[in-house]
Amino acid sequence: MAGESPGPTAGSGAGRTTSRAPGASRRTFLKGAGIGAFALGSAAVLPLFGSASAVQDPATCRATDVSQRDKRLVVSNWPAYIDVAEAGDDQYVTTLQEFEERTGISVSYTDDVNDNAEFFARVRNQLGACEPIDRDMMMLTDWMAARMIGLGWVQPISAERVPNLHANLIEPLRGRQWDPDREFSAPWQSGLTGIAYNASLTDEVGSFEALMTRDDLRGRITLLSEMRDTMAFMLKVTGGDPDDFTDDDWYNAIDYLRGRVRAGQVRAFTGNEYIQDLTAGNIVACEAWSGDVIQAQFDNPDIKFVVPEEGLNLWSDNMLVPNKATHLENAEAWIDYYYEPAVAAKLAAWVNYICPVEGAREEMEKIDPDLVDNFLIFPSEDDLADTFDFMALDEAQNRQYEGDWSDVTSG
Amino acid sequence: MTEVATQPPEARERRKLTGYWLLLPGALWLLLFFLVPFYSLIATSLYDPEGSILTGYDMTWAFGNYVTALQDYWPPLFRALWYGAVATLLCLVLGYVLAYAIAFKAGRWKNLMLVLVIAPFFTSFLVRTLSWKLLLGDEGLIVDTLQFLNILGDDGRLLATPFAVIAGLTYNFLPFMVLPLFASLDKIDPRLVEASRDLYARPIVGFFKVTWPLSLPGVVSGTLLCFIPAVGDYINAQLLGNTQTRVIGAVIQSLFTDANDFAIAGALSMILMIMILAMVLLYVRRAGTEDLL
């Protein structure tokens, strides 16, 4: 290489030192040229990596329904959300087995939904580009269902083929603003968000205001990391209405939460794992989902669920048929089947969440009379008089609020 | 003899090309799975911040994203660097003593001890971190003992504190420190240490004049192997920490999946990458370990 460089070359000692200069400057030049080429290349290539709008039209983005000749159905659900036979119990026929026997449809059922946002991230590329996700049904919580319906990713369900849904859906779940006539969604199970506490470690915690301010609870409570669950109550505490709030209401609520977090009141923002912390005594009270609490009570009767003074947050996980699903009719048969009161009661006896089906309570008398009066499974109209929901957010609001939320939870 | 020395020119040409052909699979792999995603990340970091999943995201050279990202998220960014640095330092101290013992004092237990260092890798990272939750829990043995000894106050706790996060990080990345340290300590010729004693160096002087300098390549690669993943890790902060211990990895994750704020999340990823790269380059240059680069 040195031999190729122009100017005085090796030979004398002096020549050798001067010959370094062109070599070094060439290296600098090459480095500069490399960076220049990278910059130019980037300028040309980078715009190609933009991404298009993900909005689809369910009327055009759909697959031919092969339900009649292909008796199959692919369902994605949350873990521990359907009845299964206890080990060694050969007598028990699960609701799913009964469905398969009655309709001749074979169901491939997977519990691969763990988190709404995570599931969304998993399917957004396919659904956003109108490609199949190889599922005929997925169960997502209200706000995520609203978002997906808004993006046009969900197929409408024919009302004629699901008469049970329209006849038996309980009143409090009708007329939700994001799908008022249940054209796209059908609740699978519902639940309440409220307060849980460990009675062996603290006395009753009756409201979110107490949860957020009582000194003896400092550093020993957790809140849920789902923004909507927690902020609905923060809005309530600061005088806003989660069903319909303004930016100002939002800022009041988030500032209040930030103040309490800074004061060290809140130990952590968690997903389902709060229930282990509560039973282990690492925390004494927390924001909680009703079904988790009922299941924990079987092992530890000291765990209590309270209806907070601020009211209850009623939510559902909804059955949705994604675009490009090939077994829409079979999915409709499934929805109609699970809205038969007897089937719904059998399911509720196992999963312990709120049953969205009218008439299931009467059927429950035959299965497990103990559960009939449990208001966390069959709440009365009175119990649900005070429930509220989080208003639907558009994409800009969603980002703004999720961003603020992430600021507060990130300290 | 002459026949062997002179090859036909085509054969030499071919042999020259062989090297390039051998490079090809690796180069293609990197092109596809490193360069293309890397470009996609740069582009994401320069997306129009107004873009959304409804309208799509355009690459508009929005360098302002970097400013916004730094303004909004500098605390978790520096917290991550700080936790990573402290954990790496602790790993170095603990790991050096351990590696030294294995290399020079373990004798016939050497192999067994090495296997024990690697053994935690047989279970998942997540499970190991979760079991720390049990160990440090408020009603757990460690807290009870410390409270009994009055080292910890009655409502003092270990879980959900920065201490727990750093302890978890140190534990999880310790093997990455021990192995390279062991590799370079084991290579040291014991006669060099003996020679230093012959020259009347006290053991401590002998260590700093002979053993430590010769183990530097292990120190440098060990600290890099610990520091880089420790800064990006957020599982420890999430499981063992509290609301004040959130690190940058968790912020990036929630911006991507919850807020769908791709632009800021991309800019934060780039900032983290550039900062780590700059620190590593500076460190390697200062440490002067040529055989690493």
Report yes or no on A113 lying in a domain.
yes
Is A46 in Cβ contact with B43 (below 8 Å)? yes
- How many angstroms away from the CA of B226 is the closest CA of chain A? 24
The least confident of A84-93, A192-201, A252-261, B245-254 is A84-93
Q: Are A400 and B233 in contact (CB under 8 A)?
A: no
As given in the structure block, the two tokens for residue B101 are 């013992």
Q: Using CB atoms, which residue from B39, B53, B261 is nearest to A403?
A: B261
Is A55 in Cβ contact with B42 (below 8 Å)? no
Q: Using CB atoms, which residue from A50, A281, A410 is nearest to B56?
A: A50
Task: Provide the whole-model pTM.
Answer: 0.78
Residue A279: pLDDT over 60: yes
- What pLDDT was estimated at residue B7? 60
State how far the Cα of B63 lies from the Cα of B268, in Å rounded to an integer: 12
User: Would an 8 Å CB–CB cutoff place A410 in contact with chain B?
Assistant: yes
Query: Pairing between strand A221-224 and A266-270?
Result: parallel
Runs of H (alpha helix) within B189-261: 190-198, 203-206, 212-232, 235-240, 248-257
* A178 contact partners, CB below 8 Å, separation of at least 6: A142, A145, A146, A149, A150, A392
Q: Which residue has the tokens 């800009």?
A: A396
- What pLDDT was estimated at residue A1? 37
- Among chain A residues, CA nearest to B143: A282
B246 contact residues in A (CB cutoff 8 A): 409-411
Domain that holds residue A128: 32-191+316-361
B156 contact residues in A (CB cutoff 8 A): none
Q: Which amino acid is at B19?
A: G
- How many angstroms away from the CA of B255 is the closest CA of chain A? 7
Q: Which residue has the tokens 């360098």?
A: B63
- What pLDDT was estimated at residue B289? 58
As given in the structure block, the two tokens for residue B181 are 């340290």
Query: What residue ranges of chain B have pLDDT lower than 50?
Result: 1-2, 293
Report yes or no on A395 lying in a domain.
no
Is B245 in Cβ contact with A280 (below 8 Å)? no
Q: Are A308 and A207 in contact (CB under 8 A)?
A: yes
3-state secondary structure chain A: CHHHCCCCCCCCHHHHHHHHHHHHHHHHHHHHHHHHHHHHHHHHHHHHHCECCCCCCCCCCCCCCCCCCCCEEEEECCCCCCCCCCCCCCCCCCHHHHHHHHHCCEEEEECCCCCHHHHHHHHHHHHHCCCCCCCCEEEEEHHHHHHHHHCCCECCCCHHHCHHHHHHECHHHCCCCCCCCCCCEEEEEEEEEEEEEECCCCCCCCCHHHHHHCHHHCCCEEEECCHHHHHHHHHHHCCCCCCCCCHHHHHHHHHHHHHHHHCCCEEEEECCCHHHHHHHCCCCEEEEEHHHHHHHHHHCCCEEEECCCCCCEEEEEEEECECCCCCHHHHHHHHHHHCCHHHHHHHHHHHCCECCECCHHHHHHHHCHHHCCCCCCCCCCCHHHHCECCCCCCHHHHHHHHHHHHHHHCC
Report yes or no on A394 lying in a domain.
no
User: Would an 8 Å CB–CB cutoff place A398 in contact with chain B?
Assistant: yes
Residue A5: pLDDT over 60: no
Mean pLDDT of A365-381: 86
Q: Are A403 and B261 in contact (CB under 8 A)?
A: yes
State how far the Cα of B35 lies from the Cα of B46, in Å rounded to an integer: 17
User: Would an 8 Å CB–CB cutoff place A124 in contact with chain B?
Assistant: yes
Residue A351: pLDDT over 50: yes
State how far the Cα of A274 lies from the Cα of A155, in Å rounded to an integer: 35
Is A53 in Cβ contact with B54 (below 8 Å)? yes
Q: Considering only residues 227 to 266 of chain B, which have any Cβ-Cβ distance to chain A shorter than 8 Å?
A: 241-246, 250-251, 254-261, 264
A47 contact residues in B (CB cutoff 8 A): 43, 58-59
Q: Are A275 and A228 in contact (CB under 8 A)?
A: no
At residue A411 the predicted structure's pLDDT band, cuts being 50, 70 and 90, is: low
Largest CA distance in chain A: 106
- What pLDDT was estimated at residue B93? 97
Q: Using CB atoms, which residue from A281, A395, A410 is nearest to B53?
A: A395
Give per-residue pLDDT as tens, A75-97.
Answer: 999 988 899 888 778 888 999 99
CB contacts < 8 A, A to B, total 120
Is A52 in Cβ contact with B54 (below 8 Å)? no
User: Would an 8 Å CB–CB cutoff place A409 in contact with chain B?
Assistant: yes
The least confident of A73-82, A139-148, A225-234, B250-259 is B250-259
- What pLDDT was estimated at residue A18? 45
Is A46 in Cβ contact with B243 (below 8 Å)? no
Is B260 in Cβ contact with A398 (below 8 Å)? yes
User: Would an 8 Å CB–CB cutoff place B72 in contact with chain A?
Assistant: yes
User: Would an 8 Å CB–CB cutoff place A6 in contact with chain B?
Assistant: no
Q: What is the dihedral of CA A99, A100, A106, A110, to 10 degrees?
A: 50
A141 contact residues in B (CB cutoff 8 A): none
- What pLDDT was estimated at residue B5? 53
- What pLDDT was estimated at residue A13? 42
Give per-residue pLDDT as tens, A12-23.
Answer: 444 444 445 555
Q: Using CB atoms, which residue from B59, B160, B246 is nearest to A50?
A: B59
A406 contact residues in B (CB cutoff 8 A): 251, 254-255, 258-259
Q: How far is CA B238 from the centre of its chain?
A: 18
Q: Using CB atoms, which residue from B56, B75, B139 is nearest to A52?
A: B56
Q: Which amino acid is at A243?
A: D
State how far the Cα of B291 lies from the Cα of B208, in Å rounded to an integer: 21
At residue A188 the predicted structure's pLDDT band, cuts being 50, 70 and 90, is: very high
Q: What is the CATH number of the domain that holds A80?
A: 3.40.190.10
Q: Which amino acid is at B77?
A: L
Backbone angles phi, psi at A398, to 5 degrees: -55, -45
- How many angstroms away from the CA of A219 is the closest CA of chain B? 9
Is B40 in Cβ contact with A398 (below 8 Å)? no
Report yes or no on A298 lying in a domain.
no
Report yes or no on A378 lying in a domain.
no
Q: Using CB atoms, which residue from B54, B55, B160 is nearest to A268?
A: B160
Higher-confidence position of A186 and B15: A186
As given in the structure block, the two tokens for residue A9 are 């070359």
- What pLDDT was estimated at residue A86? 80
- Choosing among 1.10.8.60, 1.10.10.60, 3.30.70.1880, 1.10.3720.10, the CATH entry for B73-287 is 1.10.3720.10
Give per-residue pLDDT as tens, A290-330.
Answer: 888 888 888 899 999 998 999 888 899 999 999 999 999 99
Please count the structural domains in chain A: 1
Report yes or no on A397 lying in a domain.
no
As given in the structure block, the two tokens for residue B88 are 């790496």
Q: Are B197 and B116 in contact (CB under 8 A)?
A: no
Is A124 in Cβ contact with B246 (below 8 Å)? no
- What pLDDT was estimated at residue A22? 55
Q: Considering only residues 55 to 84 of chain A, which have any Cβ-Cβ distance to chain B shorter than 8 Å?
A: 55
Report yes or no on A176 lying in a domain.
yes
Quote the DSSP letter at residue B151: S
State how far the Cα of B46 lies from the Cα of B44, in Å rounded to an integer: 5
Q: Using CB atoms, which residue from B52, B56, B251 is nearest to A410?
A: B251
Q: Are A73 and A137 in contact (CB under 8 A)?
A: yes
- Among chain A residues, CA nearest to B252: A406
Is B258 in Cβ contact with A117 (below 8 Å)? yes
- Segment holding B75, helix H or strand E: helix B64-100
* CB < 8 Å & 24+ apart, contacts of A393-402: A393/A143, A395/B52, A395/B53, A395/B54, A395/B260, A396/B52, A398/A147, A398/B259, A398/B260, A399/B52, A399/B259, A399/B260, A399/B261, A401/A227, A401/A231, A401/A250, A402/A227, A402/B254, A402/B258, A402/B259, A402/B260, A402/B261
Q: Using CB atoms, which residue from B42, B54, B155 is nearest to A46?
A: B42
Residue A258: pLDDT over 60: yes
